Structure 1
Amino acid sequence: MADPIPAPHRSATDLFSDPLDAHPLWFKPALFLSHNFDSESYISELRTFVPFDTLRSELQSHLASLNHELIELINRDYADFVNLSTKLVDVDAAVVRMRAPLVELREKIELFRGSLEGSLVALKNGLKQRSEAASAREVLELLLDTFHVVSKVEKLIKELPSVPADWSNGDVSLMDENSMNNGPSLQSVENGTNLRETQSMLLERIASEMNRLKFYIAHAQNLPFVENMEKRIQSASLLLDASLGHCFVDGLEHRDANAIYNCLRAYAAIDNTTNAEELFRTTVVAPLIQKIIPHWPAAVASGSSGDELEDDYMQIKQCIDKDCKFLLEISFEENSGLHVFDFLANSILKEVLSAIQKGKPGAFSPGRPREFLKNYKSSLDFLVHIEGYCPSRSAVTKFRAEAVYNDFMKQWNIGVYFSLRFQEIAGALDSALLSASLVPVQNENFGQGNSRDLTLKQSVTLLNSLESCWREDVLVLSCADKFLRLSLQLLSRYSNWLSSGLAARKMGNASSNTGTEWAASAVPDDFVCIIHDLNCLAMEVSGDYLEHVLQNLSSCSADVRDLVKQSISQGGKSLNDLIPLVINTIIDTLVEKSDEDLRQLKGITATYRMTNKPLPVRHSPYVTGILRPLKAFLDGERATRYLTNETRNELLIGAATVITNHYFKLADEAVTVAKKTESSLQRLRQGAQRRAGASSDVSDHNVSNTDKVCMQLFLDIQEYGRNLSGLGVDAASISAYRSLWQCVAPPDRENTIQF
């Protein structure tokens, strides 16, 4: 036995501190003994807040501790550990004794297992044979049922009259020879039952059997027995279709509601609604429609109503109510099972569409927009009328989903119609805006409605074009978004025409650009008309015009109407935004004319420098001409008639301010030049006197030329201020005038503006 390992030496320091094998708080060895311990997740959790090196050293320390503990356990129980091998005696014999019963048990289990497998195979074979027998029985029963149904159908068909005329009149007094072959029918007649109704009931019964037969055939495909009966089945089906067709037509001719009802149920049973709809179309609807819209060449050539459809639709509505309503009421009868038929679409609408295509093909042509729109609206009204026969919303939805309905709507090419209207409306405005000059409106050529207040043809054309987009004889509600966009484009085109013309005039190249020539030749009175028209157009667009548009869109949602209102109001605002540009253009024109008189101010300096004139006592003649263009413009007929007080004041203040600015610049320049010139002459004079030894006394030159110039300018601006007051402008309120006053006024009057 090995000597026990002595306990590790502990120093005095260890006695009063944590034991050597103590672990940090985050290290818990007990987790290693957990049954769901996962080393990877354990390490990944600790690595978030413990360094990897620290974790590794701690694990190694724990491993050393475990090894040490294992060695201590072995040393403690060493004797038992060594004696363990000596207690295992005769192990092989014990194994042999235990193996014998186990082998015997295994043989019995294998024998029993083989017996079970044999029984299982036999059972599976029996079940398979049973299943095959059941399948064969099902097929046999199916074939027998098919044979019985075919025989029954053939027997029932034989009971039908061989000639439709035998029962078409529905009279009880039939020919005696039919009694041999038509036993049940004769018995029905003897009982007083209507033959046509009896015949339809028999056809409904046959149709029900044929429906069963189709079910059996669908489950017995590719079987020789069924293939051999195929001819009999086809023959029975053809006879049923023919007899059912004759009975249905006869019921339609005599308006026998019971017979029609039974025939429709028969058609529904064999899933052959198309034949019923086509028979009704050809026997009842087609003759009526052809009388209204003939489509043979001679009748079409001699037609006097052209391609208009409104009167034709009126007659068709009357015919439907008189000759077709009875069948529609039968097919729409509640809980009748006849909802699978759609005589409105596949019989009536289909025949109407065919008749229009053959008899009046021009009705669908958008080449004549007015007639096209009239026919289109009449057609929509016709569709609404026949939808009125539908008993429910689902029936209306089914009617609109039919292929014939979609084909009918596709005939109306609304896209081409809008393109033609676009060219017509936009082209009219574009032609008016391409004019080389502004065209005034004559009294006899005023536009309609509020366009009577407009003064220019271009503005009248814009308003008429805007109104055309929403006229009853132009607007198609399904294209309302396109007409709204066209309206906004018209406003934008007019705004761009005006703004580009004003910009080109300001740049001086108006006459060289196509579409802006009018701006080069326009005079201030013309721009007055433009301001007036812009005010009228903005008021109309944001007022009555907007209300008219919203009224046409009353069926739209509130959100849509709000968006339309915002867009059109924005268009009206864009017109108002152009008014300041026009006002500035008028001001620039008036200032140019005033500058022609202001330029005479430059002659004042030369006059007093070249001559020895005395001090001035009155203003210069040019002053009275400075404000003459502005006064003449404001007193003119158009300005007096068309300008509002607000616009008039804006023009007056703006023009007066700009003219005064120009006046100040010229006066300031004249005074500056006069002072510089006088200073130079004074230096030259003083130099000459010093060279001549003369006295420097200049008492005879107490009043300089600069003083004379300033005095003349002072007299001029006083008169100019009086002229401004005559126009209603306070000169002292203009900063440029105050600067001008201080520039030329005597020192004692610089701070007091009085004239």
Structure 2
Amino acid sequence: MADPIPAPHRSATDFFSDPLDAHPLWFKPSLFLSQNFDSESYISELRTFVPFDTLRSELQSHLSSLNHELIELINRDYADFVNLSTKLVDVDAAVVRMRAPLVELRDKIEQFRGSVDGALVALKNGLKQRSEAASAREVLELLLDTFHVVSKVEKLIKELPSVPADWSNGDVNLMDKNSMNNGPSLQSVENGTNLRETQSMLLERIATEMNRLKFYIAHAQNLPFIENMEKRIQSASLLLDASLGHCFVDGLEHRDANAIYNCLRAYAAIDNTRNAEELFRTTVVAPLIQKIIPHGPSALDLGSSGDELENDYMHIKQCIDKDCKFLLEISFEENSGLHVFDFLANSILKEVLSAIQKGKPGAFSPGRPTEFLKNYKSSLDFLVDLEGYCPSRSAVAKFRAEAVYNDFMKQWNLGVYFSLRFHEIAEALNSALESTSLVPVHNEHSGQGNSQNLTLKQSVTLLNSLKSCWREDVLILSCADKFLRLSLQLLSRYSNWLSSGLTARKVGNAGSNSGNEWAISAVPEDFVYIIHDINCLAMEVDGDYLEHVLQLLSSCPSDALNLVKQSISQGGKSLNDLIPKVINTIVAALVEKSDEDLRQLKGITATYRMTNKPLPVRHSPYVSGILRPLKAFLEGERATKYLTEETKSELLIGATTEITNRYYELASELVNVAQKTETSLQRIRQGAQRRAGASSDVSDQTVSNTKKICTQLLLDIQEYGRNLAALGVDAASIPAYRSLWDCVTLPDNPIPINF
């Protein structure tokens, strides 16, 4: 009978729960045995609905159960596990039997490898020998080609005229001579072909061969064969250069276009463009320029014609068009391959620059700005004329990139020129602003509109200085940014001059404000000129002046023009911003004058204190003088002529408001003092009466004195209100006047404002 299967063990803690090996429904150990199991994706999937601690606990529990199962398996089959080693018999013999074929296979492989290595070495040696043989053959072929080319060049050179003078003896003599020397080599001459053209064609052919020879030499350097042929090569090269030079010069003298074309192609072939450019400069250009701008002994004989270049450039342009244009047209011919030459820069411009430096060095001196600018602009026109010969933009760019072009432009020291102009323009304004007083000028521009109708020398100087920056005989467009900055600095200098002067006048300390004496000593009528000039300057700067500047800079990008417009407009705005400050200065001066009459109201107290005068019935005499300075100012010639109605209204409102404020301060102080004095006297009298045993009412007298003073002040401010109305100001609209009226009318007897 088989033993019954024991029931699963349960501890006290799990007696009423599931067995220990029970797992939740979401935990499936069978998934661990699948081939595509991925632990990370498994854990990330479970963590969406299972807490991490719970998952870890379940995995540890499963690990413990696996370890327990493994131990049970080992214990169950332990006897078989121990007897495993006794069943492995004759293992060493089996190893020996398996090793023998492996050793034999390895020996065969090593033998095969050795034979392959030997064949590889032999193959490499053969390839090396083949490569060396090919290299030697290439060198040999190169040397042979070099030898053939040298021989060919020497043979072709022998066909050239042996005496350079023969080039100018005419075609007939040369045809006879070369027909005898060269036989059929000049068959084309015998057929009537121009000898010069034939020689140029031959030179072009030689140049082509020389180009090949240079290529061969470059690839066969440091070879004894080449070194032995070096003298022959140099001799051939010198002969070619000399012959080519004579042929080119002869072609230039006779204006033989075909010969010149062939010679230029020959120069281009041997990469010797500088020789052609130099020959053209010395043989054609130099004699022409020497006649126009003489230098050296010839210049002393002819005498100096000054440093002006405009007339010289005119003659040079004519000579270029007459004597140089034919060569320029040949060199600029399309698809000719002659674009490597730059006769404009390296022949014409180079000779012109040299002639000016030697014959008229003062033309480049900025010490005389007017002459310097005239020569500079003439030079720019000359360069533009030269660029007119260029057939394309790329040719113009190439011309401007030449070293001679840059050297020519460097001769014009624009920085020094601007410094001199800066000092000239800025010093004129600075001298005018250093005057200790405002200097009126006679209105010479009265018929030219209000924008030119300036009244002060300082303002006229500013406008002239601003215009000088953009005059045709001052401005250089390449320095436009500097002149723009100078214009803004001039506006800023004028604004600072006004602002600092007005501030110094307000402070009133003349000793520590050097340069501001004009503002401290100026009368209100002088500031009318300032207001008028500020308006005129701002209108001009933001109007015709700005339009003129933008027109001069019209070639600049739109973004740059917008910045220029903003900066100049800001300068005009800075002038307009000073007008309120000037108006306040005028108002302060008028208030100060009116204050002299206002202070007379203090005499009202002395008039009615301790007297038996009756109540006043008319205003005080000082009232008529309070607004007299303001009225005289507004009705004066300057204000009437130069101030706008808007400005006069602003001045009127500002001045009357400040004067009324001052009137209120003095009147309220007077009333307060009178009331306090009367109150003190009343206490004294009452005390005396009590000590004397008498009783009387003394308050009537006190009230009477205060009432007299207030009545007088009321009559005065009524007259003051009528004077304000005569000027066009509603007194009741001024807060200080209402306060003044309330102050002089007693609280027990309020009176509405009336005049």
TM-score by length of structure 1 reads: 0.93
**Kindly tell me: are residues 465 and 347 of structure 1, through their superposed partners in 2, closer, same or farther at Cα, counting changes over 3 Å?**
same
- 1:510 partner SS: coil
Question: Any idea what SS the aligned residue of 1:437 has?
Answer: coil
| 1:686-701 correspondence runs (5 A) | 686-698=686-698, 701=701
8 Å CA contact 2:452–2:536 kept in 1: the answer is: no
Paired position in structure 2 for 1:410? 410
Quote how far apart the aligned CAs of 1:610 are. Answer: 4.1
Which residue of the partner structure matches residue 731 of structure 2? Answer: 731
How far apart in 2 are the matches of 1:45 and 1:522?
93
Partner SS state of residue 172, structure 2: coil
Structure 1 CA distance for aligned equivalents of residues 703 and 134 of structure 2? 144
Distance in 2, Cα, partners of 1:350 & 1:96: 98
Aligned residue number for residue 372 of structure 1: 372
**In the TM superposition, what are the counterparts of 1:662-681 in structure 2 within 5 Å?**
662-681=662-681
Correspondence for 1:144 = 144
Deviation at 1:165, TM superposition (A): 2.7
- Number of the residue aligned with 1:381: 381
Alignment match, 1:570: 570
Mark the CA change 1:700 to 1:377 in structure 2 (over 3 Å): closer, same or farther.
closer
Q: Could you report, residue by residue, the CA deviation over 1:188-246 in whole angstroms, capped at 9, with x for unpaired residues?
A: 32111111111011101111111111111111111111111111111111011000000
Specify the code of the residue in structure 2 equivalent to 1:98. M
Residues paired across the two proteins, number: 752
Equivalent positions of 1:270-309 (< 5 A) are 270-297=270-297, 299=299, 302-303=302-303, 305-309=305-309
| RMSD between superposed Cα atoms in Å | 3.0
- Whether contact under 8 Å (1:289, 1:351) holds in the other structure is yes
Q: What per-residue deviation string (whole Å, max 9, x for no partner) do you get for residues 457-516 of structure 1?
A: 000000000001111111111111111111111000000000000000100113542210
Alignment of 1:69-80 (within 5 A): 69-75=69-75
Q: Which residue of 1 aligns with 2:10?
A: 9
1:571-586 correspondence to structure 2 within 5 Å:
571-586=571-586
- CA distance 1:32–1:286, change in 2 (3 Å): farther
* Mapped contact 1:435–1:515 kept (Cα < 8 A): yes
2 CA distance for matches of 1:446 and 1:716? 45
Inter-partner Cα distance in structure 2 for 1:300 and 1:55? 112
- When residues 463 and 139 of structure 1 are mapped into structure 2, their CA distance, relative to the original with a 3 A threshold, is same
**Match of 2:544?**
544
User: Which has the higher mean CA deviation after the structures are superposed, 390-399 or 603-612?
Assistant: 603-612
Q: What residue in structure 2 maps to residue 558 of structure 1?
A: 558
Q: What are the superposed Cα offsets for residues 81-135 of structure 1, whole Å, 9 maximum, x if unpaired?
A: 4564454332222222222222222222222222222222111111111111111
Partner of 2:108: 108
Distance 2:608 2:209 in 1: 129
Cα 1:112–1:298 change in 2 (3 A) is closer
Shift of 1:690: 1.8
Q: Which deviates the most, 389-398 or 113-122?
A: 113-122
Separation (CA, whole Å) in 2 of partners of 1:703 and 1:527 = 48
1:131 paired residue number: 131
Instruction: Tell me: CA distance 1:699–1:200, structure 2 relative to 1, closer, same or farther (3 Å).
Output: closer
Question: 1:172, CA displacement in angstroms?
Answer: 3.2
1:754 alignment partner in structure 2:
754
Change (3 A) 1:567 1:32: farther
C-alpha distance in 1 between matches for 2:401 and 2:111: 73
Q: Which residue of structure 1 aligns with residue 454 of structure 2?
A: 454
Residues 214/47 of structure 1: CA separation in 2 closer, same or farther (3 Å cut)? farther
Deviates more, 1:41-50 or 1:175-184: 41-50
Map of 1:260 onto structure 2: 260
- Which has the higher mean CA deviation after the structures are superposed, 316-325 or 687-696? 687-696
- 1:20 is displaced (CA, Å) by 4.5
In the TM superposition, residue 184 of structure 1 has moved relative to its aligned partner by: 4.5
Which ranges in structure 1 are unaligned for 5 or more consecutive residues?
none
Question: Structure 2: where are the runs of 5+ without partners?
Answer: none
The alpha-carbon distance between structure 1 residues 45 and 589, as it changes in their structure 2 partners (threshold 3 A), is farther
Contact 1:170 1:196 in 2 (8 A): no
Kept after mapping to 2: 8 A contact 1:345/1:405:
yes
Please name the residue that 1:236 is paired with: 236
AA at the equivalent of 1:9: R
Give the 5 Å matches for 1:625-636: 625-636=625-636
Is the 8 Å Cα contact of residues 682 and 699 (structure 2) preserved in structure 1?
A: no
Instruction: Confirm whether residue 483 of structure 1 aligns to residue 483 of structure 2.
Output: yes
1:30 CA displacement: 5.5
Partner in structure 2 of residue 353 of structure 1: 353
1:661 equivalent to 2:628? Answer no
Q: Provide closer, same or farther for how the CA distance between residues 151 and 47 of structure 1 changes in structure 2, counting only shifts above 3 A.
A: farther
Equivalent-residue separation in structure 2 for 1:222 and 1:273 (angstroms): 28
Name the CA shift for 1:436/1:62 in 2 (closer, same or farther; >3 Å): same
- Change over 3 Å in CA distance of 1:225–1:447 after alignment to 2: farther
Amino acid at match of 1:100: A
Shift of 1:19: 5.3
Deviations 1:366-395 (A, max 9, x none): 111111111111111111111011111111
Which piece of structure 1 moves more, 58-67 or 629-638?
Answer: 58-67
Matched, 1:515 2:515: yes
Distance in 2 between the 1:587 and 1:438 partners?
19
Q: Distance in 2 between matches of 1:5 and 1:160?
A: 128
The one-letter amino acid of 1:279's match is L
Q: 1:47 to 1:280 in 2, by over 3 A?
A: farther
SS of corresponding position for 2:554: coil
The answer on whether the counterparts of 2:174 and 2:195 sit within 8 Å (CA) in structure 1 is no
Change in CA separation of 1:204 and 1:699 when aligned onto 2, cut-off 3 Å: closer
Aligned to 1:598: 598
Task: Tell me whether 694-703 or 665-674 shows the greater mean CA deviation.
Answer: 694-703
Q: CA deviation at 1:303?
A: 4.0
Deviations, residues 22-64 of structure 1 (Å, cap 9, x unaligned): 489799896798799799x999999999999988866654443
SS of match in other structure, 1:182:
helix
Cα distance change of structure 1 residues 278 and 51 upon mapping to structure 2, 3 Å threshold:
farther
Range 224-233 or range 16-25, more displaced: 16-25
Structure 1 residue 672: deviation in Å? 0.6
SS at the partner of 2:338? Answer: coil
Are the counterparts in 2 of residues 159 and 184 from structure 1 also a CA contact under 8 Å?
no
CA contact (8 A) 1:619 1:715 kept: yes
Shift of 1:452: 3.9
Are the equivalent residues in 1 in contact too, given 2:353–2:408 (CA < 8 A)?
yes
| Aligned counterpart, 1:208 | 208
Equivalent residue letter for 2:598: L
- Judge which range, 320-329 or 94-103, deviates more: 94-103
Q: Which amino acid aligns with 2:66?
A: L
| Aligned AA (1:566) | Q
Which segment is superposed worse, 50-59 or 195-204?
50-59
Residue deviations 1:525-573 (CA, integer Å, cap 9, x gap): 1000000000000000000101001000110111111111111111111
Q: Tell me how far apart the structure 2 counterparts of residues 524 and 52 of structure 1 sit (CA, whole Å).
A: 91
How far 1:248 moved relative to its partner? 0.5
Distance 1:689 1:653 in 2: 53
Residue 24 to residue 240, structure 1, CA distance change in 2 (3 Å): farther
| C-alpha displacement of 1:339 | 0.6
**Matching of residues 39-188 of structure 1 within 5 Å:** 60-75=60-75, 81=81, 84-174=84-174, 176-184=176-184, 186-188=186-188
CA contact (8 A) 1:616 1:708 kept: yes
Which shifted more, 52-61 or 562-571? Answer: 52-61
Distance 1:639 1:713 in 2: 32
> For residues 686 and 573 of structure 1, do their structure 2 counterparts lie closer, same or farther at Cα, with a shift above 3 Å needed?
same
> Could you tell me how far apart the structure 2 residues matched to 1:311 and 1:642 are?
50
Once the two structures are TM-superposed, the CA of residue 249 in structure 1 deviates from its matched residue by: 0.4
Query: What are the superposed Cα offsets for residues 147-180 of structure 1, whole Å, 9 maximum, x if unpaired?
Result: 1111111111111110123233552354745433
